[in-house]
C-alpha cells in the first residue's frame, strides 16, 4: 500500500465489524511516512481506551532487499504495545533481514537512509555501468565488473571490520588512478550532494507524516 492510499485503507479497516471485536490484534504498518499518531487517529477514532489497548500498533520502515532476505527494518511501537508485541514484530522482521527498534522520531531518518537507500545504491550502480560503456566496454562486462566490485567491497567492510574511509585510503595511492577519480568526486561535491539527497528524503518523509 502506498502512503497516498493509506487514508482510505485505514478508514476501510476501522469500519470492519471484526475490528470492533475485543480479541486482541497486533497492527503492523509498513507505509512510509505515516506516523503512529496518524494511524491511531484513523484506527482508534471509534474506540474507547480499553478497546484501544487491544489494538497495539507497530510502525515499520523496511526496505526492498527484504525480498531476498537481506533487508534492513526500523520499527517503533505505540504505547499499547507490550514486550510480547515487540518480540513478535522483531521475530517476523528478522525473517527478512535485520531489525532495529527506534523511537518514532527517528523513523524519518531511517526511511531516508535505509528505506530509500537501495535506490541510491542502484543509481550509483547504473552510473558505474554507464561509465564502463562510455569507455567501450560492452554492457554485460561493465555490469559484471561493477556488481562484483560492489559485492567484494561490502564483504571487505564486513570481514575486516575497518571503516569505509580506512579502506578507501588503502586503495587510494598518491598520484594514482583512484586519487584522480576521488578528486573529481570531491571537486563536484558528490559527498555533500549525497547528504543533501538523504536529507531531502528525510524532509519528505516528515511531510508525509503530518
- 32-86: pLDDT as tens digits: 878 999 899 988 888 888 888 889 999 999 999 999 999 999 999 999 999 999 9
- Inform me whether the pLDDT recorded for 6 exceeds 90: no
Query: Based on the domain organization, do 137 and 198 belong to the same domain?
Result: yes
- Specify the CATH number for the domain of residue 70: 3.40.50.720
Q: pLDDT tens, 171-181?
A: 999 999 999 99
- What is the predicted pLDDT for the residue at 164? 97
- Over the Cα atoms of the chain, what is R_g? 22
- What is the predicted pLDDT for the residue at 19? 67
Print the SS3 string covering the chain. Answer: CCHHHHHHHHHHHHHCHHHHCCCCCCEEECCCCCCHHHHHHHHCCCCCHHHHCCCCEEEEECCHHHHHCCEEEEEEECCCCCHHHHHHHHHHHHCCEEEEECCHHHHHHHHHHHHCHHHHHHHHHHHHHHHHHHCCCCHHHHHHHHHHHHHHHHHHHHHHCCCHHHHHHHHCCCCCHHHHHHHHHHHCCHHHHHHHHHHHHHHHHHHHCC
Domain that holds residue 167: 117-208
- What is the predicted pLDDT for the residue at 3? 67
- Specify the CATH number for the domain of residue 195: 1.10.3730.10
> 2 versus 84: which is more confidently predicted?
84
Residue recorded with cell 499518531:
37
> 156 versus 15: which is more confidently predicted?
156
Query: Based on the domain organization, do 71 and 132 belong to the same domain?
Result: no
What integer best gives the mean pLDDT of the chain? 93
- What is the predicted pLDDT for the residue at 210? 67
- What is the predicted pLDDT for the residue at 131? 99
Residue 112 lies in a domain: no
- pLDDT grade for 5, boundaries at 50, 70 and 90: confident
- pLDDT grade for 15, boundaries at 50, 70 and 90: confident
Number of domain units in the chain: 2
Contacts for 147-152: CB closer than 8 Å, 24+ residues apart: 150/121, 150/125
In this prediction, residues 13-17 reach a mean pLDDT of 76
Amino acid at each position: 500500500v502506498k502512503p497516498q492510499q493509506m487514508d482510505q485503507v485505514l478508514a476501510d479497516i476501522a469500519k470492519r465489524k471484526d475490528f470492533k471485536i475485543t480479541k486482541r490484534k497486533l497492527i503492523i504498518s509498513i507505509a512510509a511516512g505515516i506516523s503512529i499518531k496518524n494511524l491511531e487517529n484513523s484506527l482508534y477514532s471509534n474506540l474507547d481506551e480499553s478497546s484501544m489497548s487491544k489494538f497495539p500498533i507497530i510502525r515499520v520502515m523496511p526496505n526492498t532487499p527484504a525480498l531476498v532476505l537481506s533487508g534492513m527494518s526500523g520499527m517503533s511501537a505505540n504505547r499499547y504495545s507490550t514486550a510480547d508485541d515487540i518480540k513478535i514484530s522483531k521475530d517476523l522482521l528478522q525473517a527478512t533481514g535485520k531489525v532495529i527498534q527506534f523511537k518514532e522520531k527517528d523513523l524519518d531518518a531511517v526511511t531516508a537512509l535505509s528505506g530509500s537507500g537501495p535506490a541510491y545504491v542502484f543509481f550509483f550502480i547504473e552510473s558505474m555501468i554507464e561509465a564502463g560503456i562510455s569507455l567501450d566496454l560492452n554492457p554485460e562486462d561493465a555490469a559484471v565488473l561493477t556488481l562484483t566490485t560492489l559485492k567484494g567491497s561490502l564483504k571487505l567492510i564486513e570481514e575486516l571490520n575497518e571503516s569505509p574511509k580506512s579502506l578507501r585510503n588503502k586503495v587510494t595511492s598518491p598520484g594514482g588512478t583512484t586519487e584522480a577519480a576521488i578528486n573529481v568526486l570531491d571537486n563536484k561535491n558528490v559527498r555533500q550532494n549525497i547528504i543533501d539527497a538523504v536529507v531531502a528524503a528525510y524532509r519528505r518523509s516528515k511531510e508525509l507524516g503530518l
